[in-house]
Amino acid sequence: MKSSRICELFGIKYPVIAGGMVWCSGWRLAAAVSNAGGLGLLGAGSMHPETLEEHIVKMKSATDKPWGVNLPLMYPEMENVVEMIIRHGVKIVFTSAGSPKKLTPRLHEAGIKVAHVVSSSLFARKCEEAGVDAVVAEGFEAGGHNGREELTTMVLVPQVRKATSLPLIAAGGIASGAAMAAAECLGAEGVQIGTLFAVSEESSAADEFKRFCLGLGENDTMLALKKIAPSRLAKNALFNRIKEAEDRGATAEELKAILGPKSTKRGIFEGDVVDGEIEIGQAVAGITEIKGVAEIMNDIITEYEKISTKTSC
């Protein structure tokens, strides 16, 4: 992208961030993205502290390029994880699912750059007040946990650009160099990509999950679970049971019972594509094969550069 604030902030070659996805973003995926010139993130949301520490140690051996940790602020063992992140000298943290106001000053004291994921321009302004270094504007095309506002990326990104002067990263439905160029025209200075990397060779998701995702079309995901935590899910047997319950007005407790324990782990990490929770974004409809990260990054940057030489925003 023509603007280099994201590259300068994180010390990366390309303004491409791999989303820190639960059960997908282990050290292999994060290191591969960083080694290819982007910014890899470990997905702390599905890791116990000792598991995250193991992945941090392996990251240090796997790459000498910048990388970070994605930390949902609803993490149940936050104090232990923050202390461990600081102790290991992690330089970049992306936060989500909560207010960054309390944690950001502490991370800054440790020399850590902080970006926060938002789903509205209101939250973006609050992030600037909290002192974060960058914001990620994520539209509801994205997979997994999502904003209740259901704002699309095309609508959200320009509104966030108007609301804050912070470096801006666009996310949600971005899976190509063309989408990266479009995000730049909307005012973004970098992109965060999840779905495309979730089905990559280096993703820690189960092969069954990846193959299932390759067969999904443009109408095969839907936002659900608003009474718990809004999430974009692929349609399978579990989703059908959730939808039937939601249509009849089921309570949050009933929905939790239908999901059962560890539903995302079952679907993504263990590969139960029938009764597991399959979190994936709308962009999956355009993905037809499982590729390695190096090839994915090359495809994105090559297409982006080809388009950017012909157009000017």
Whole-number pLDDT of residue 309: 84
pLDDT for the residue 274: 98
Calpha distance 219→223 (Å, rounded): 11
213 within 8 A of 205, measured Cβ to Cβ: no
Collapse the DSSP code of 17 into the 3-class scheme (helix H, G, I; strand E, B; otherwise coil) and give the result: strand
Q: What is the pLDDT of residue 308?
A: 86
pLDDT attached to residue 2 = 60
Per DSSP, which regions of the chain are E strands? 16-18, 40-43, 67-72, 92-96, 113-118, 134-138, 144-145, 168-171, 190-193, 221-224, 231-234
pLDDT digits (tens, 9 = 90+) for 168-195: 999 999 999 999 999 999 999 999 999 9
φ, ψ for residue 89 (rounded to 5)? 75, 25
For residue 148, pLDDT beyond 90: no
CA distance 18 to 64: 17
| Region 133-141 average pLDDT | 96
244 has a pLDDT exceeding 60: yes
1 pLDDT above the threshold of 70: no
* Contact in structure between 255 and 187 (CB atoms under 8 Å): no
What secondary structure does DSSP assign to 140-207, as a single string?
TTSSEE--TT---HHHHHHHHHHH--S-EEEESS--SHHHHHHHHHTT-SEEEE-HHHHTSTT--S-H
Q: Count Cβ atoms within 10 A of the Cβ of residue 132 and give its class: 0-12 exposed, 13-18 middle, 19 or more buried.
A: buried
pLDDT of residue 200: 98
Using pLDDT thresholds of 50, 70 and 90, give the confidence band for residue 150: confident
> Are 219 and 204 within 8 A, CB to CB?
no
Asked if residue 92 lies in contact with residue 63, where contact means CB atoms within 8 angstroms, the answer is: no
Token representation of residue 276: 């597991």
- The model's confidence at residue 234, banded by pLDDT at 50, 70 and 90, is very high
Which of 79-83, 134-138, 284-288 is the least confident region? 79-83
pLDDT tens digits, 21-36:
999 999 999 999 999 9
CA 96 to chain centre: 9
Residues in the chain: 313
Contact 171, 117 (CB under 8 A): yes
